Amino acid sequence: MAELRLSETRDLTRIERIGAHSHIRGLGLDSVLEPRAVSEGMVGQIKARTAAGVTLELIRDGKISGRAILIAGQPGTGKIAIAMGIAKSLGQETPFTMIAGSEIFSLEMSKTEALTQAFRKAIGVRIKEETDVIEGEVVTISIDRPASSGGSVKKTGKITMKTTDMESNFDLGWKLIEALDKEKVQSGDVIVLDRFCGKITKLGRSFTRSRDFDVMGSKTKFVQCPEGELEKRKEVLHSVTLHEIDVIKSRTQGYLALFTGDTGEIRSETREQIDTKVAEWREEGKAEIVPGVLFIDEVHMLDIECFSFLNRALENDMSPILVVATNRGMTTIRGTNQISAHGIPIDFLDRLLIITTQPYTQDEIRKILEIRCQEEDVEMNEEAKQLLTLIGCNTSLRYAIHLINAAALACLKRKGKVVEIQDIERVYRLFLDTKRSMQYLVEHESEYLFSVPIKNTQEATAGEETEHEAMEV
């Protein structure tokens, strides 16, 4: 019994979570901004991706200040995927902040403060700093380990480093020895050692050690031995966001406040001081502003006060790229009785570059399902893929994606290796889609508590539509 339990144990040291958009790597555009059919996880939406590529070039050229992007379309047409593709295409160092429209109403702060913090999280500051470093290839490391086990005795040692022009020895303190042990530095590694803070950066292994097969791994990176002198003055870049600087400046515990999560409201005077200081650094060439992407999903959930704040915030010189998304049509602006397109006031709509997404075709749904099968590591035969595609066309793409893992589990229970039609049929009967669920409710409405007759609901809906049409006229 013990052997059986040991055989069933799994290694849980590395857990990988698969998100709904973890397969998105970018917008899938070529050098002339023409979208490829299937690339970087993106499928279809040719017009929307082309428009997103044009706005991406505007962002890179810094010519989109004062504007924002609205991605409007039906549910399940890839609005969030396009926003994530824009962020991924801008680079790893570009800040990307994602919030929901209803999120700001549940925070313990005012709505405008929550939006301000979201804006400043999406604005990066790249600070340039000159420091003395030692850069070279490690020849030998010798550490003197004291025989005494007392806590007062600390380790000392020496390190020999070289470049193509010179070689020198350096004494090591106990802090540097701990840093070398942490980075697992050994002879043949090319490292950069900061003399002030003791930070060690491992660049890779020297090409002269490329034949040391016993210390090579699949991800081993080989670099050339540095040239010139060992000790040199180098420019170091530190990337932070404006919100992080705000928290550090406004809290007594400094940068430790970032780990507590309790940022609270920040005074406007503090932000003005920080903006003035960052502007001085920009003029002196010590800092560079990196506009990021702020993505607000379900933007129709914002009220009229939030929209008026966004109007003003977009006019700021250091505003990020604002991308909003909605799946609503003509609906009421929250906080008012006025009806507008997408639930957004007209004055804010004028500032938006609107990108629309279209429903996917049958071939595009099939390709998306194949990508998701690869992402979720599920093997499925062609007949099952065809049936799942038909289900996605008749119901929705999200419902078809939900059935992938459920069908894989059903296949596992019958001790199969490849998902077949019978697995898809089984989970299709177990889990209802929206249409079948509504049909079931209509047939058994009298058995539910507080049921409202469908006829009365339709009459009330028709009355509301007539009233809305009269208001539009």
Q: Which of 204, 192, 176, 205 is nearest to 131 (CA)?
A: 192
pLDDT at residue number 459: 47
Q: How far apart are CA 291 and CA 52, in angstroms?
A: 17
Domain spanning 38-123+251-356 has what CATH number?
3.40.50.300
Tokens standing for 240? Answer: 């932070």
Q: pLDDT per residue over 50-79, tens digit each?
A: 888 888 887 777 666 667 889 888 887 888
Sequence-distant (6+) residues with CB within 8 A of 180 are: 141, 159, 172, 200
Higher local confidence (pLDDT), 102 or 144: 102
Q: Does the predicted TM-score (pTM) go above 0.75?
A: no
**What local confidence, expressed as pLDDT, does residue 4 receive?**
42
Structure tokens at 225: 């031995």
Burial (CB < 10 A; 0-12, 13-18, 19+), residue 467, is exposed
CB-neighbour burial class of residue 108 (10 A; exposed 0-12, middle 13-18, buried 19+)? exposed
Pairing of strands 167-172, 156-162: antiparallel
- The full set of domain ranges for the chain reads 38-123+251-356, 129-145+154-236, 362-447
Q: CATH classification of 362-447, choosing from 1.20.1560.10, 3.40.50.300, 3.30.559.10, 1.10.8.60? A: 1.10.8.60
Does the fold of domain 362-447 match that of domain 38-123+251-356? no
Q: Which residues pair with 325 in a beta bridge?
A: 71
At residue 183, φ and ψ (nearest 5 deg) are -85, -5
Give CA separation, 10 vs 15, 408, 409, 456, in Å. Answer: 11, 19, 17, 56
CA nearest neighbour of 76 among 436, 433, 460: 433
- Tell me how many degrees the CA angle 311-118-339 measures, rounded to the nearest 5: 40
Residue 376: pLDDT band (50, 70, 90) is confident
Give dist(CA 206, CA 188) in Å, integer.
6
More confident residue, 281 or 471: 281
Provide the pLDDT for residue 14: 38
Predicted confidence at residue 168, as pLDDT, reads 83
pLDDT digits (tens, 9 = 90+) for 303-351: 999 999 998 888 877 788 888 989 888 889 988 888 999 889 998 888 8
272 pLDDT band (50/70/90 cuts)? confident
- Quote the crossing angle between the two packed helices 397-413 and 382-394, to the nearest 10°: 140
CATH T-level fold of 129-145+154-236:
OB fold (Dihydrolipoamide Acetyltransferase, E2P) (2.40.50)
Three-state SS at 140: strand
CA dihedral 132, 134, 135, 137 (to 10 degrees): 180
Please give the Cα distance from 78 to 21 (Å, whole number). 9
The separation between the first and the last C-alpha atoms of the chain, rounded to the nearest angstrom, is 77
Determine if residue 45 is left, alpha or beta; phi over 0 gives left, psi from -120 to 50 gives alpha, anything else beta.
Answer: left
When comparing pLDDT for 222 and 340, which is higher?
340
Greatest mean pLDDT among 63-77, 84-98, 309-323, 385-399: 385-399
Segment 191-200 mean pLDDT: 77
Residue type, 451: S
> In this predicted structure, which of 12-26, 226-240, 275-289, 330-344 has the lowest mean pLDDT?
12-26
Which amino acid, 455?
Answer: K
pLDDT at 8: 41
What percent of the chain has a predicted confidence (pLDDT) above 90? Answer: 3
pLDDT class of 166 with cuts at 50, 70, 90: confident
- Please report the pLDDT score of residue 5 as a whole number: 43
User: pLDDT digit string (tens) for 435-463?
Assistant: 888 888 888 887 877 666 655 444 444 44
Give 76's strand partners: none
